[in-house]
C-alpha cells in the first residue's frame, strides 16, 4: 500500500516555523507514522505572511466574537486572513485522508484553545484556520499531536484514516451497489466495536444503481461520524465473541475454554486486545472462513504500528 496523504502542522515535522523561529518536532509522528503516511505540511501563520520569527498572536473574545489578534499589538488582527487562507487551501485539503493539528495554537488548534478577554482565559476556542478547514472537510479524520499520546485516541484516529483512505480508493474505482455493500461488509465488525451497525445496514438495503451516489454520500457521512466514538472494551468483547462463533464447529472444548478465558481477561483489563486477537488469528489460519478473511477488524492497518498492544 502506498503512503496515505495526511495534512499536518509544519512545526510537528521539525520545520522552523514557530513564532520564536523554532519547531515542535514530534518523534512519533516524524518517525513511526512517516513510514506509512505521506505528510503534507501547512503553516498558515507563515503562509499569510507573518514571517518567522513573528509577534505572538492569541484568541480574544471581543464583543461576543472571538478574534485572533496580536498579544502585544491588538491592532494586528489576522482573523479573516487565516480563515480566507483555509478556504484557499480547500482543494489541497480535499485530497487528504487525515490531518494532525498543533494543539493549543490560535491558528491550528482543533479544540480547547485558550480564549482571552476576561479575568482568566477559558479553553473554549478553536484555531481560526483549523475551524474553517474542519468545516470545509467534515469527513476527514482530525486529531492533534497532544491527543495522539493517548493509546485509545491514537488507535481511533489511525483506524479512521485507513477506513477513509479505503473509501477514497473505492470512489476512485467507481462506486456501485455491489462495491458499496462489500465495503460495508468488510468493515461491519469494526463498526460493531463502535456502535450499533444496524442503521447503516438498513440504509444500504435500498441502494440501487440509480441512487447509489446519494446513498454513498449519506453512508460515509454517518460512518465517519460514528467512528469518532472510541471503541469500548465492552463492544470489543461482543465482537470477539461474535467472531468466536464462526469457529464453533472447529474448536475443541479446551480451545473454546481457552478462547473464552482470554476474552474475559481482556474484558477485565488483564490483557490487551492483541492477545485474544492473536489466538483468533491462529485458529482461523487452521480453519479459514471467507467472511472473516475479508473483514478488516483483525487487520485494520499495518500490524507494525502496534496500536492494539496497549488497548
**Residue 134 shares a structural domain with residue 12:** yes
Residue 63 covered by a domain: yes
Residue-range definition of the domain harbouring residue 125: 4-149
Of the candidates 85, 11, 83, 21, the residue with the CA atom closest to the CA atom of residue 54:
21
**pLDDT confidence of residue 123:** 96
Domain limit, last residue, from 227, 255, 282 = 227
pTM of the predicted protein model: 0.95
Rounded distance between C-alpha atoms, residue 160 and residue 141, angstroms: 6
In a domain, 309, yes or no: no
Task: Give the chain's domain count.
Answer: 3
Residues 120 and 170 in one domain: no
Chain segment 32-65, per-residue pLDDT in tens: 999 999 999 999 999 999 999 999 999 999 988 9
Please answer whether residues 301 and 307 qualify as being in contact, where contact means their C-beta atoms are separated by less than 8 angstroms: yes
Phi, psi of 40 (to 5 degrees): -115, 105
Query: Is 194 strand, coil or helix?
Result: helix
Q: Which parts of the chain have pLDDT scores under 50?
A: none
Task: Determine the Cα–Cα distance for residues 88 and 154; give it in Å rounded to an integer.
Answer: 29
What pLDDT was estimated at residue 1?
67
Tell me: do 217 and 258 sit in the same domain. no
* Cα 232 from Cα 254, distance rounded (Å): 28
Grid cell in block for residue 18? 514557530
Q: How many CB atoms lie within 10 A of CB 76?
A: 15
Indicate whether 98 belongs to any domain. Answer: yes
Parallel, antiparallel or unpaired: strands 113-116 and 122-125: antiparallel
Confidence at residue 70, expressed as pLDDT on a 0 to 100 scale: 96
Q: Are 47 and 138 within one domain?
A: yes
Of the residues 227, 246, 270, which one is the last residue of a structural domain?
227
Torsion angle (degrees, nearest 10) of CA 79, 80, 86, 90: 160
- Residue 162 φ then ψ, to 5°: -70, -35
Same domain for 85 and 213, yes or no, is: no
pLDDT of residue 311: 84
Question: Are residues 287 and 204 part of one domain?
Answer: no
> At which of 81, 114, 149 does a domain end?
149
| Exposure string over 37-68, b if 16+ CB within 10 A, otherwise e | bebeebbbbbbbebeeebeebbbbbeeeebbb
Q: What cell was used for 267? A: 474484558
pLDDT for position 118: 77
d(CA 298, CA 296): 6
Can you tell me the distance from the alpha carbon of 258 to that of 47, in angstroms, rounded to the nearest whole number?
A: 58
Is residue 49 in a domain?
yes
Structural domain contains residue 307? no
The 10s digit of each residue's pLDDT in 278-296 is: 999 999 999 999 999 999 9
Amino acid at each position: 500500500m502506498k503512503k496515505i496523504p495526511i495534512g499536518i502542522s509544519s512545526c510537528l515535522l521539525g520545520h522552523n516555523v514557530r513564532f520564536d523561529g523554532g519547531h515542535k518536532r514530534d518523534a512519533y509522528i516524524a518517525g513511526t507514522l512517516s513510514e506509512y503516511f505521506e505528510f503534507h505540511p501547512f503553516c498558515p501563520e507563515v503562509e499569510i505572511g507573518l514571517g518567522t520569527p513573528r509577534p505572538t498572536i492569541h484568541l480574544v473574545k471581543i464583543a461576543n466574537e472571538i478574534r485572533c489578534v496580536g498579544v502585544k499589538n491588538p491592532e494586528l488582527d489576522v482573523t479573516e486572513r487565516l480563515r480566507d487562507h483555509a478556504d484557499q487551501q480547500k482543494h489541497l485539503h480535499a485530497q487528504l485522508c487525515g490531518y494532525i493539528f498543533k494543539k493549543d495554537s490560535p491558528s491550528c488548534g482543533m479544540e480547547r484553545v485558550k480564549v482571552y478577554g476576561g479575568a482568566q482565559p477559558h479553553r473554549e476556542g478553536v484555531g481560526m484556520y483549523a475551524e474553517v478547514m474542519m468545516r470545509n472537510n467534515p469527513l476527514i479524520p482530525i486529531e492533534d499531536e497532544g491527543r495522539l499520546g493517548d493509546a485509545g485516541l491514537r488507535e481511533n484516529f489511525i483506524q479512521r484514516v485507513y477506513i477513509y483512505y479505503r473509501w477514497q480508493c473505492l470512489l476512485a474505482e467507481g462506486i456501485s451497489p455491489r462495491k458499496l455493500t462489500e465495503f460495508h461488509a468488510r468493515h461491519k465488525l469494526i463498526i460493531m466495536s463502535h456502535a450499533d451497525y444496524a442503521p447503516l445496514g438498513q440504509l444500504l438495503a435500498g441502494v440501487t444503481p440509480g441512487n447509489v451516489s446519494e446513498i454513498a454520500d449519506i453512508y460515509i457521512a454517518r460512518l465517519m461520524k460514528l467512528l469518532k466514538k472510541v471503541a469500548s472494551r465492552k463492544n470489543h468483547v461482543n465482537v470477539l465473541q461474535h467472531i468466536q462463533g464462526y469457529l464453533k464447529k472447529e474448536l475443541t472444548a479446551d480451545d473454546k475454554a481457552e478462547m473464552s478465558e482470554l476474552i474475559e481477561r481482556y474484558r477485565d483489563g488483564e490483557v490487551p486486545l492483541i492477545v485474544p486477537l492473536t489466538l483468533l488469528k491462529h485458529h482461523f489460519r487452521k480453519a479459514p472462513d471467507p467472511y472473516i478473511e475479508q473483514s478488516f477488524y483483525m487487520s485494520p492497518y499495518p500490524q507494525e504500528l502496534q496500536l492494539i498492544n496497549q488497548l
